[in-house]
Amino acid sequence: MDLPHHGYRATKQRARGAPPTGDSVLFEDTSSAASGASSQGFYAPGYNMGEPSNHMQGGVGVNNLFTDPMANAAVMYGSSLANQGKDMVNKEISRFMSVNKLKYFFAVDTRYVLKKLMILMFPYTHQDWEVRYHRDSPMTPRQDVNAPDLYIPTMAFITYILLAGMALGIQKRFSPEILGLCASTALVWIIIEVLVLLLSLYLLTVHSDLSTFDLIAYSGYKYVGMIFTVLCGLLFGSDGYFVALAWSSCALMFFIVRSLKMKILPSLSSDSMGMGSSAKPQLRLYITVATAVFQPIIIYWLTSHLVR
């Protein structure tokens, strides 16, 4: 492994060095050291509203600011309530999805994001598409550029919504309801695509290690292509839109086929004695190709009304 360690040691220092101003010690993340990114953003915003505004860093020092014992008691009560609320939220969320697994997908750094964006837009020169493993668990996106992450899809989704609002505003067709409609349409299409993929993988008993989050990540990568297409459509008119659509479709199709080929299509040596396996590789290939072909269709569907 020839990973430049100096690259993300700097990132780690940055993450540790920036004190969370405004967040008190109550919301400190006690996750394992493997994922350096703190997830305070998950529940800090919700609770910062209810907190008294005097909460600085270091909850111990807060009490010294109040001379009034009633205010003291109120602050203690409020902080214990916040703790209880945080525990409850944690418990409820961890019933539906494992938060640690989610943290793995957000453990990214700048170098990874830049490389991944370049691969998404120009995947033809990327040589090695294998996801590297480290002692039987997949490596975090910080260490392996082929690992799927959820940071890029999330940011791209939000950027797409903002861009859609801007495009509609340029054409004087904007209203807040359309923005919400655009956002929920895109979200629903992702949900549909992930559900169809999960269903088809289940029906064909593909024993891959593609979890739901992986599929969400791979489905969300198309938003990068969508943003690029809409930008070109806005800047260069209708011709630019179609050229950018063709380019990002080809790039995305190549990317999806190469990425999913490793995970879905079987390695022939590990297959059993060929019980009906003559149909299997074909069906698995169909799934991969169908996923890839679906991407340009949905890109066109979701962006054509923005670039009239």
Partner 1 sequence: MAFTLYALIQTAILCTNAIAVLHEERFLSKIGCGVSQGVGGFGDDPGVKAQILNLIRSVRTVMRVPLILVNSACIILLLLFG
Query: Can you say whether the dihedral through the CA atoms of 262, 263, 268, 269 is positive or negative?
Result: positive
- Distance from the Cα of residue 308 to its chain's centroid: 29
Nearer to partner 1, 71 or 265 (CB): 265
Please choose, out of 77-85, 209-217, 252-260, 271-279, the segment that lies near partner 1 by the rule CB under 8 A: 271-279
User: What is the nearest approach in angstroms of partner 1 to the Cβ of residue 178?
Assistant: 9
**Neighbouring residues of 79: CB distance < 8 A, sequence distance ≥ 6:** 24, 26, 51, 59
Answer yes or no whether residue 83 interacts with partner 1 by CB under 8 A: no
d(CA 29, CA 107): 14
Answer yes or no whether residue 272 interacts with partner 1 by CB under 8 A: yes
Answer yes or no whether residue 280 interacts with partner 1 by CB under 8 A: yes
Please choose, out of 45-53, 87-95, 105-113, 277-285, the segment that lies near partner 1 by the rule CB under 8 A: 277-285
Site string for partner 1, 174-203 (x = CB under 8 A): -------x--xx-xxx-xx---------xx
Nearer to partner 1, 147 or 197 (CB): 197
Q: What single-letter DSSP state applies at residue 149?
A: -
d(CA 37, CA 28): 12
d(CA 50, CA 161): 29
CB 255, CB 221: distance < 8 Å? yes
Which H or E element spans position 167?
A: helix 151-170
Question: For the chain, how many helices (H) and strands (E)?
Answer: 10, 2
Give phi and psi for 5, each to the nearest 5.
-70, -30
User: What is the nearest approach in angstroms of partner 1 to the Cβ of residue 203?
Assistant: 5
User: What is the nearest approach in angstroms of partner 1 to the Cβ of residue 171?
Assistant: 17
The residue count for binding partner 1 (CB under 8 A) is 19
Chain position carrying tokens 């004695």: 273
Answer yes or no whether residue 158 interacts with partner 1 by CB under 8 A: no
Please choose, out of 62-70, 106-114, 208-216, 269-277, the segment that lies near partner 1 by the rule CB under 8 A: 269-277
Contact with partner 1 (CB under 8 A) among 21, 64, 137, 205:
205
Answer yes or no whether residue 204 interacts with partner 1 by CB under 8 A: yes
Interaction site with partner 1 (CB under 8 A): 181, 184-185, 187-189, 191-192, 202-205, 272, 275-277, 280, 283, 301
